[in-house]
Amino acid sequence: MNITIIGTGYVGLVTGACFSEMGSRVTCVDVDKEKIQNLKKGILPIYEPGLENLVIQNYKEGVLKFSTSLEKTSENSNIFIIAVGTPPGEDGSADLQYVLKVAEQIGQIINEYSVIVDKSTVPVGTAERVKKTIQKQLDARKLNIEFDVVSNPEFLKEGAAVTDFLKPDRIVVGADSKRAAKTMKRLYAPFSRNRDKLILMNVRDAEMTKYAANSMLATKISFMNEISNICERLGVDVENVRKGIGSDNRIGYSFIYPGCGYGGSCFPKDVQALIRSSRDSGLEPELLNSVEKRNQLQKYLLPLKIKQCFGEDLSNKTFGVWGLSFKPGTDDMREASSLVIIEQLLKSGAGIKAYDPVAMEQAKKEFPTDWFNNNQLVFSENQYNAVENADALILVTEWKAFRQPDFKQLSQKMKQKIIFDGRNQYDPEEVREYGFEYHGIGRETIN
Which residues are identified as catalytic? 266
CA distance 298 to 262: 9
Gap between the Cα atoms of 366 and 374, Å rounded: 16
- Reference 100, options 67, 125, 126, 79; nearest CA is 126
- Helices and strands: H and E segment counts in the chain: 18, 14
Nearest of 181, 183, 188 to residue 206 by alpha carbon: 181
User: Do the beta carbons of residue 100 and residue 128 sit within 8 Å?
Assistant: no
Residue type, 270: D
What is the distance between the alpha carbons of residues 282 and 362, in angstroms, rounded to a whole number? 39
Bridge pairing between strands 418-421 and 351-355: unpaired
CB 55 within 8 A of CB 17: yes
Please give the C-alpha separations between residue 356 and each of 187, 427, 442, in angstroms, as whole numbers.
38, 22, 25
Provide the residue type at 242 as one letter.
Answer: R
Our CA dihedral for 429, 434, 439, 440, rounded to 10 degrees, sits at -50
**Residue 102 · residue 28 · CB < 8 Å:** no
Residue among 292, 295, 288, 285 nearest 229 (CA): 295
Radius of gyration for the alpha carbons in the chain, expressed in angstroms and rounded: 24
- What does the alpha-carbon distance between residue 186 and residue 307 come to, in Å, rounded to a whole number? 58
Cβ-contact 442, 232 below 8 angstroms:
yes
Q: How far, in Å, CA of 209 to CA of 215, rounded?
A: 10
CB 202 within 8 A of CB 415: no
CA atoms of 345 and 24, how far apart (whole Å) = 50
Residues 15 and 165: beta-carbon distance below 8 Å: yes
> Please, how many CA atoms are within 13 Å of residue 108, restricted to the half-sphere of its CB?
10
